[in-house]
A and B are shown apart, each in its own frame.
Chain A
Amino acid sequence: MKNTALFLALMISSGATASAEVTKVYLQLEGCLRATCSRKVWQALGRTVQSSSFKVDDAAEGTAEFIPAKNAPLNLRALNKSIHDAGYRVKRVAIEVDGNSTLAVANQKCSQEAIPQLWLKEAQTQKLYEWTPSVEDLKRKTSEDVQVCVVH
């Protein structure tokens, strides 16, 4: 996809230590209602977040977004575990990356049961698609420069 490419990383896979190339992370959380959720998820994310960028829409969708801290690695698997330990569940994740990213997610080992549904972030339009791509879709998207890890 264009300059701002979309990277659909299968978060819990492999301990993907993403980098500063990740410009924003979107999470759809289950059980995230009211202000206590915001507080607990913020605590769970810890130093991986630029605190001023963190916000949770605790309405029906339970959507959280944040910009990763520059100096802390963003480990998507650890992120998922922390949020789970905090009493919530990650249903979908999307990461927005720099278009020139060399983020290597395609080779990560993913397992279907360990991964929340995929969630595509269209960086250009800022629109979130509630769509779970099939493996075929992933391959197609991969060919369109959207790198994802392969779901087995």
Chain B
Amino acid sequence: MFRSALFIRIAGFLLVAGLCQSAHAGSILTSNAGVEVYKSWVVLTQGYSSGEQVGGAHITREGETASIAYGLTGNLLIGMDAVVTRMVGASKSPSVEPDLRVKWNFWSKLSPAHYHRLALQARLGVPLGGPTNYFLDQGYVGPGGSHLRFVKPTVVPTVDLIYSRATYRWVYGAAAGYSAPTADRNGLRLGDVKKASVDAEYAFWRGERSEVSFVVGGMVRQFGRAQLGGASFSNTGGSDAVVSGGIQYAPVPTLTFEASYSTDVWSVMRPGQPRMGNEILFGMRILR
């Protein structure tokens, strides 16, 4: 899981930084319906490593995500993200996947003791570099005799509806999302992805300015079948469920660190669809 030098550097940096300092209001690794900043910037960086399996192939997906966002108002945030991914075991060059993001907190019900918020988040990703998505196609023989077909969509539009509720020590919420990758230049299209998730965060320790929280979550995903020219690959697609747990530390209101671990607890994937194993994430958020 930690084999690549890149990931070791990322994880090392975040861990060392985490010992020194950290931010609040919902898991930083899970989108919530709030806008973290007002006429100011928020920067989020995270390192991750996850294992995947399809057929006899084991692939480790490692990388880093960097995000910068600006709160136009308390209800509207615009952001840019860039995901750098390295596929260990797939002999593919690192990919960079930038995207543009808008989050609109269109409804709030506020009170001094709690709030409810609903937000819509739209994202448009533009994959660059090597592909990071693939499936197993026994009728295809790629470089080295591999049956893995890698796909790089032209753009990946995604929309999420997010609900968050917060009380004094709890922040919890739910989200539903849909992602529909476009076809690559060969006309090969990945299946769409529907997902639903819940998450909760409990601040179990609060200092004068600092805070430590437990973070838990669960997600169900459904993957559609890959397609080529209108015909679908019958052995792709499926569903899975993932649970996660982690800890968040915010030494000051403007800085937060979070580490979480996710694992696949239920999976009904067709033979050609990669199955997620375990994933570890480290994240750091800075409000400016």
Show the binding face of A for B, using Cβ within 8 Å.
Answer: 28-40, 43-44, 58-62, 84-89, 91
Closest to B109 in A: A31
Are A87 and B74 in contact (CB-based, < 8 A)? yes
How far in angstroms is the closest Cβ of chain B from A66?
16
Are A87 and B108 in contact (CB-based, < 8 A)? yes
Are A87 and B24 in contact (CB-based, < 8 A)? no
Closest to A44 in B: B38
Residues of B within 8 A of A36 (CB): 23-25, 34, 36, 253, 287
Among A40, A58, A89, the one with the most B-chain Cβ atoms within 10 Å of its Cβ is A40
Within 8 Å of chain A (Cβ to Cβ): is B209?
yes
How many chain B residues have a CB neighbour from A under 8 Å?
33
Are B39 and A91 in contact (CB-based, < 8 A)? no
* Contact with B112, one of A29, A35, A40, A86 (Cβ below 8 angstroms): A29
Which of B133-141, B165-173, B229-237, B239-247 is found at the contact surface with chain A? B165-173
Query: How many Å lie between the Cα of A14 and that of B38 in the bound state?
Result: 25
Q: In residues 161-191 of chain B, which contact A (Cβ within 8 Å)?
A: 166-168, 171
Query: How many Å lie between the Cα of A60 and that of B111 in the bound state?
Result: 9
CB within 8 Å for A85 and B253 given contacts A30-B111, A34-B203, A34-B211: no
How far in angstroms is the closest Cβ of chain A from B257?
14
Query: How many Å lie between the Cα of A84 and that of B211 in the bound state?
Result: 26
Residues of B within 8 A of A88 (CB): 74, 110
Are A33 and B40 in contact (CB-based, < 8 A)? no
* Contact with B113, one of A35, A60, A87 (Cβ below 8 angstroms): A60
Query: How many Å lie between the Cα of A29 and that of B74 in the bound state?
Result: 14
Are B73 and A85 in contact (CB-based, < 8 A)? yes
Query: How many Å lie between the Cα of A61 and that of B211 in the bound state?
Result: 19
Are A33 and B73 in contact (CB-based, < 8 A)? no
How far in angstroms is the closest Cβ of chain A from B251?
11
Among A29, A44, A84, A86, the one with the most B-chain Cβ atoms within 10 Å of its Cβ is A86
How far in angstroms is the closest Cβ of chain B from A83?
9
Are B111 and A87 in contact (CB-based, < 8 A)? no
Query: How many Å lie between the Cα of A58 and that of B75 in the bound state?
Result: 20
Q: In residues 246-263 of chain B, which contact A (Cβ within 8 Å)?
A: 250, 253-254
Query: How many Å lie between the Cα of A91 and that of B73 in the bound state?
Result: 20
* Contact with B74, one of A33, A40, A62 (Cβ below 8 angstroms): A40
Closest to B36 in A: A36
Within 8 Å of chain A (Cβ to Cβ): is B9?
no
How far in angstroms is the closest Cβ of chain A from B34?
7
Are A32 and B112 in contact (CB-based, < 8 A)? yes
Query: How many Å lie between the Cα of A91 and that of B105 in the bound state?
Result: 20
Within 8 Å of chain A (Cβ to Cβ): is B114?
yes
CB within 8 Å for A85 and B166 given contacts A38-B253, A44-B38: no
Are A62 and B38 in contact (CB-based, < 8 A)? no
Closest to A87 in B: B74
How far in angstroms is the closest Cβ of chain B from A24?
20
Residues of A within 8 A of B287 (CB): 36, 39
Query: How many Å lie between the Cα of A37 and that of B113 in the bound state?
Result: 13
Are B73 and A43 in contact (CB-based, < 8 A)? no
Are B38 and A43 in contact (CB-based, < 8 A)? yes
CB within 8 Å for A87 and B209 given contacts A33-B167, A59-B168: no
How far in angstroms is the closest Cβ of chain A from B226?
40
Residues of A within 8 A of B108 (CB): 31, 87
